[in-house]
Amino acid sequence: MTFEDRIDEWKSTKTIGIIGLGDMGYLYAREFAKAGWKVVSCDKEEYYERLKVEHASEKFSVVTNGHLVSRVSDFIIYSVEAESIDKIVSLYAPSSKIGAIVGGQTSCKSPEIAAFEKYLPSDTEIITVHSLHGPKMNTEGQPLVLIKHRCQHEESFEFVQAVMSCLKSKFVYLDYKEHDKITADTQAVTHAAFLSMGSAWAKMKVYPWTMGLEKWHGGLENVKVNISLRIYSNKWHVYAGLAITNPSAHQQILQYANSATELFTLLISHNRKELTDRLLKAKEFVFGSHKGLLLLDDKILDYYSLSGPVDHMQKKTAPNTHLSLLAIVDSWYQLGINPYDHMICSTPLFRVFLGVSEYLFLTPGHLEETIDACINCESFRGDDLEFVVAAREWSSIVRFANFDLYRKQFEQVQEFFEPMFPKANKVGNEMLNTIASHFN
């Protein structure tokens, strides 16, 4: 029997279960069913009647609760909030079909694995997954982590790979501890940076793309605006789970806030020498062995502005201190993280942020111009102050592991930017697709 024949047999005999029909759970259910797998799914019981109507035309079925999913499914995927993983697994694990394979979709695997080990019957196998992208991204070519944690039969792992192959993602094989360290390295600081930018703009009640050529104009600014709004257009728990439940993320988010604070202190004290020395050390550590072309160039990004085309001859753009980008490179240096080590397991947002940081530090004359702006230009002093305050606020929320405060802070900013989300997502999707093709 060929492997294709085995897949056909599995499709005719096995059932995939999805517990949690949020954005990613729905993505999985839809794509698996479209590929010919039998899929049964659920969300909270109070959502059942609504979801049954909403998904009536889909090829997957919706049932009342996780007990009904678990008892019939050969591969069960928990696609729930990281904050709730222990509670949900404890509720539905006893109903797991004998010999079932169980996995999850949380961005931090340590709590997920702990819950599986604690509550799942011993006859089940644990093979968990993580798609390293958001629900709005095309899954093709994106990293997909597969973690074989408790697997008695090699055929079980082959079955999981067969199921996940319909996403056309790039498989990355890790254990759960490696996964958590790498996701912290590639996502925690990136999210903190863009969350802080959005918070600062919301506190100032500024839509940055409305400032014309005076501020926040050009390729690097377009990235900041588009990615920040993209994050805030998603659900808060997607980012809270990674930040709060992953111990490695705590250290990195704290360092990012410290780097932003310390660089801002050098900036307002006009200490050019110490600022330059510190940034050159960070540049050498992160980019010292860089060879070849840059990941991005300003021309690729210049088009993707929410304000539309602008006449470049109209007025000279105010020089930006790019404190958010300086702080990310400095924090990588302070933590001893080489961002290029994890490119195979990186998210689209991380690749974009690495690309613009690389552009800032390696394009001839750009870093020097930025340092000049830090020392001599007052245009962004108030903005940078708000950014530092926001970075420290996010760091405190994460350090105290306060999900409620995280949600409140996130949704306040989200409400401010909400009118722009449809346009921002359209422009952001185009930008990310362009960037993705540039990386390939």
Shared domain check, 283 and 326:
yes
Q: What is the DSSP string of 316-350?
A: PPPPP--HHHHHHHHHHHHHT--GGGGGGG--HHH
The reported pLDDT for the residue numbered 242 is 87
CB 40 within 8 A of CB 69: yes
CB 191 within 8 A of CB 287: no
Closest CA to 391 of 440, 335, 325: 325
- For CA atoms 303, 305, 309, 310, the dihedral sign is negative
Shared domain check, 332 and 194:
yes
The reported pLDDT for the residue numbered 313 is 45
| Dihedral class, residue 262 (left if φ above 0, else alpha if ψ from -120 to 50, else beta) | alpha
| Cα–Cα distance list, 141 to 2, 167, 184 (Å) | 25, 9, 21
Shared domain check, 287 and 249:
yes
pLDDT averages per 10-residue partition of the chain, 440 residues: 89 98 96 98 97 96 98 98 94 98 95 97 98 88 96 95 97 95 88 95 88 64 84 91 90 96 97 98 94 69 57 60 95 93 82 87 93 91 95 96 95 94 77 64
| Cα–Cα distance list, 353 to 147, 268, 339 (Å) | 27, 25, 10
- Joined tokens for residue 10: 């599995």
The reported pLDDT for the residue numbered 181 is 92
The reported pLDDT for the residue numbered 217 is 59
> Of 152, 174, 196, which marks where a domain is finished?
174
Convert 92-105 to b/e letters by CB count within 10 Å (16 or more is b).
Answer: bbebbbeebbbbbb
Instruction: Identify how many contiguous H helices and E strands the chain contains and give both numbers.
Output: 20, 8
Closest CA to 302 of 434, 107, 140: 434
The reported pLDDT for the residue numbered 298 is 59
| Cα–Cα distance list, 119 to 88, 102, 124 (Å) | 10, 11, 11
Bridge partner list, 208? none
CATH number of the domain that 85 lies in? Answer: 3.40.50.720
Residue 93 CA to residue 122 CA, distance in Å, equals: 11
- For CA atoms 404, 415, 246, 174, the dihedral sign is positive
> Pairing state of beta strands 143-150 and 125-131?
antiparallel
Shared domain check, 166 and 184:
no
Reported for 208-215, long-range contacts at CB under 8 A and 24+ positions apart, including other chains, are: 209/305, 209/306, 209/307, 210/307, 212/307, 212/310, 212/314, 212/315, 213/310, 213/312, 213/314, 213/315, 213/316, 213/317, 214/315, 214/317, 214/318, 214/379, 215/317, 215/318, 215/320, 215/379, 215/380, 215/383
14: containing domain: 3-174
The reported pLDDT for the residue numbered 432 is 72
> Of 158, 174, 190, which marks where a domain is finished?
174
Shared domain check, 233 and 380:
yes
H-helix or E-strand containing 126? strand 125-131
Residue 22 CA to residue 32 CA, distance in Å, equals: 15
Shared domain check, 128 and 251:
no
Shared domain check, 126 and 187:
no
Shared domain check, 404 and 359:
yes
The reported pLDDT for the residue numbered 226 is 83
The reported pLDDT for the residue numbered 223 is 80
The total number of structural domains in the chain stands at 2
Shared domain check, 236 and 159:
no
Shared domain check, 409 and 261:
yes
> Of 132, 157, 174, which marks where a domain is finished?
174
Shared domain check, 137 and 49:
yes
Closest CA to 70 of 32, 121, 132: 121
Shared domain check, 362 and 285:
yes
- Joined tokens for residue 389: 């305050």
Q: For the beta carbon of residue 203, count every other beta carbon within 10 angstroms.
A: 16
